[in-house]
Chains A and B, each alone.
Chain A
Amino acid sequence: MDKPLPQISRLFTWLFSAMLVLGGAALLVFGDKPKAYELPNGQPIGQRTVISFWENWTGVEGQAMRDVVDKFNMSQNRIYVNTVEVSTIDIKTLIAVAGGDPPDIVTLWSGDMGQFIAYNALTPLDSLEDHGIVTSHTYVPYIWRLCAPYGRLYAVAATPEINMLYWNKLLFAAAGLDPDKPPRTFDELNEMSHRLTLYDSSGHLKQIGFLPIVPGWWNSMWGVYFGNHLYNYQTGYFNVDTPEQIAAYSWFASFSKQLGFTAVDSFLSGSEQQFDSPLNPFMSGKVAMELIGPYFSNFIKRNNPGLAGHYGIAPFPTSFGKPGDVYHGDCDLWGIPRGAKHVPEAMEALQFFSEQDNIEYLCDKHCKPSPLMVVSRSFIANNPNPYIEEFEQAMHSQNVEVLPPSPIWARVNDELANAAQRIWYGAPVEETLQQEQVLINQWTSDALRLQKLRARQGTNE
């Protein structure tokens, strides 16, 4: 005989209902409430217009930005900037623009500019330029190229970076090298790297002089130091398989061939590629030279104070001239996304952020040079970066290569970084770059064709 189904007791039903009601009441009483904005001094913001600002920095850098925003919020009584820290900010901003609810101000990476401009995702900052607040004379030449890649101003500069070769003087001295003489040519770099590379008794790598995959962020840009101009601004096409580029990646691959990629992987497996970690190979003394930006000084001080007085910086060698004949530079930028609801207020905030004292405050906290053409004496005198003058000098160079403002740069960068990875793992250099050239040419011509088609059909927006 079938057993009768169990019955839910009346007491249980009542208890369960009471729990639901009590839980709901507790949520109402103690749950999260809509945020009431406050000024830094604790005063309510009153009738101010609230504008949203998506910022990609956190930590020390994020705090510096919040300080500037606080200063702006206290400087007037009409606008309140609400800062939100956002990861993968580029994609999230594009999706927000597509959804019709973007922030009023966004911090962008310079490599995003081409895609954002092509998708009409940024509001041109004509009024800032027309009123002479930000012009081509405001910034050093390469920063202006980033802000106005096609002549029209789409963004203003936040904090810049320009890469230099850091070298560990202690490791140089231990290897019998002059600790005050960095490599000036690729031959010297290779020779010094060889002397600085050490093995333990069981034949495992213990220390490496130079590794082009540390930190590995610019594997698509090595050609710069061999005289390659990756992007043709006139045609919109990329130069991927030029002799300069082939020379660059042959040099890149030579490290993998000499050391063995498995041995290098094993060597790096206990390290962190992050610059803000004591396990960074340069900071932990495992790699003697690294090409990286000015902010690195901040993190050396924090993660390995013992190294602070014992490293130097120098322009990276070039194959065609002397070190410093070309640099690779970058910059964080502020823009106003298309569809932002408070454009005049956002412009006013950008104008404030771009004032010299605010930019210098931010750059000081980031340990970076200034993007501005003119800097104050106090900025140089008080900057925590011991090599600020060298960085400032590099900033003013006429030969700074930047990330291409191509609409398809995200895709091309990923492809080139991947090609570099394959070359590192043994793929033939020339053949790989030739294949990449064909592929990227195809993508470029497709993108240009579609751009023209859209222009003809009037579907660009």
Chain B
Amino acid sequence: MSKAVNIADGQGRLYISWKDQLTGMAFAAPYLVGICIFLLFPLAMSLYYSFCDYSMLQPPLWIGLDNYRHLLTDDTFHIALINTLIYAAISVPCTLAWSIFLAILLNRQIRSQGIYRTIIFLPTLVPLVATGIIWNWLFNSDSGLINYFLRPVLGLVGGIAAHVAAWLGAGPATLQALHDISPPAWLGDPNWAMTAIIFVSFWGVGQTVVIFLAGLQDIPAELYEAAQIDGAGSWGRLRHVTLPMLSPVIFFNLIMGIIGSWQFFDIPYVMTAGGPGRATLVYSLYLFNAAFNELRMGAASAMAWILFLIILALTALAFWSAKKWVHYS
């Protein structure tokens, strides 16, 4: 029979015997050792390498702040930063809004509800590389399915617009341009490639939708009943009940979205490799190229630490703003 070893001193403090402490630490040791070897040590080393010229094949050479200084003047780095910012600024709010919309639809008591939920979740089970290759074909400018459907639609719209323009007295060049309107070369045109990549991010919202769905099911029905009695319509219930009650879940998905968008890598890597003309070169892709194509591990480590600071700052901003719009019941 084991002896009692934890004694409360009557003032809320708990004393744990050294034997229990050791036992606890022994159980936690594999995890702690793992954290030290596989997380803390690499973190410390990458911070050190960020101040070095390091290729893995030669010993690191201390160069102070050079890696950081070079990034300040590196145009490609700026392009990657701006591209990622554009991606994050558009994809995060849009995918959040789209996910909420889908979750609300899927929360309605309709027939075959389970099938619809499965359909929305299914794309997240497809490996991202496969997703990228499939979307490459869908976006193919000549034989892709998207342009196949867009072509007649744009032809019709262009024809109507040309008639209207002719009626308004437009010149022949404008009329010809309206007649010739055609779908874009999505991945072959620097002006459209990022749009296509952002569009693909809508495809994988299944997990976010499931989290929103769980959040929606947690909202007490009495709140909707009370709002209805007070005369709130559908929009009013959405605005004054659903969104405030869902705000902690929105906040969680916002944080995850911000982190995910700055670490976005797989889809541009598979679909465009950062092209055409660096139009889809995102931060993680540039970091990967520096580390594993050019073996500039020092510069890549510096980029990784800057990325960490950016994500930290954006997360802190989100937490600060949360006081104003997140409502915990």
Interface residues of A (CB under 8 A from B): 91, 94-95, 97-98, 115, 119-121, 203, 261-262, 265-267, 269-270, 408, 410-411, 414-415, 418, 421-422, 424-425, 427, 435, 439, 446, 450, 453-454, 457, 459-461
Contacts and interface: CB of A to CB of B under 8 A. Distances in A.
Contact of B189 (A262, A415, A439, A461): A262
B237 interface: no
B289 A460 contact: no
A422 B61 contact: no
A453 B61 contact: yes
B2 interface: no
Contact of A269 (B53, B188, B289): B188
B142 A269 contact: yes
Nearest to A447: B53
24 contacts: A94-B57, A98-B55, A115-B295, A119-B55, A119-B295, A120-B57, A121-B57, A261-B185, A262-B184, A262-B188, A265-B141, A266-B141, A269-B142, A269-B144, A269-B188, A408-B294, A414-B294, A415-B76, A422-B277, A446-B70, A450-B53, A457-B61, A459-B61, A461-B58
A119 B57 contact: yes
Contact of A410 (B53, B190, B278, B294): B294
A425 B190 contact: yes
A417 B80 CA distance: 17
Nearest to A423: B277
Interface in B177-197: 180, 184-185, 188-190
B180 to A, nearest CB: 8
B123 interface: no
Nearest to B143: A270
Contacts of B57: 94, 97-98, 119-121
Interface string B28-65: 00000000000000000000000001011111010100
Contacts of B263: none
Interface string B288-326: 010011111000000000000000000000000000000
A94 B56 contact: yes
Contact of B188 (A115, A120, A265, A270): A265
* Closest CB pairs A-B (n = 8): A265-B188, A98-B56, A269-B142, A265-B185, A119-B57, A422-B277, A266-B141, A262-B185
Contacts of B76: 415
B55 A261 contact: no
B268 to A, nearest CB: 14
B132 to A, nearest CB: 17
Nearest to B297: A98
Nearest to A263: B185
Given A269-B142, A421-B276, A450-B61, A414 B289 contact: yes
A56 B277 CA distance: 28
Q: Of residues B140, B190, B289, which shows the largest number of chain A Cβ atoms within 10 Å of its Cβ?
A: B190
Contacts of A411: 294, 296
B69 to A, nearest CB: 11
B277 A269 contact: no
Given A94-B295, A270-B142, A425 B276 contact: yes
B294 A266 contact: no
B185 A454 contact: no
Given A94-B57, A121-B57, A418 B140 contact: no
B322 to A, nearest CB: 34
A261 B277 CA distance: 12
B275 interface: yes
Contacts of B189: 261-262, 265, 425
Given A427-B277, A453-B61, 13 more contacts: A94-B56, A97-B57, A119-B58, A120-B57, A265-B185, A266-B142, A267-B142, A269-B142, A418-B277, A457-B61, A459-B58, A459-B59, A459-B61
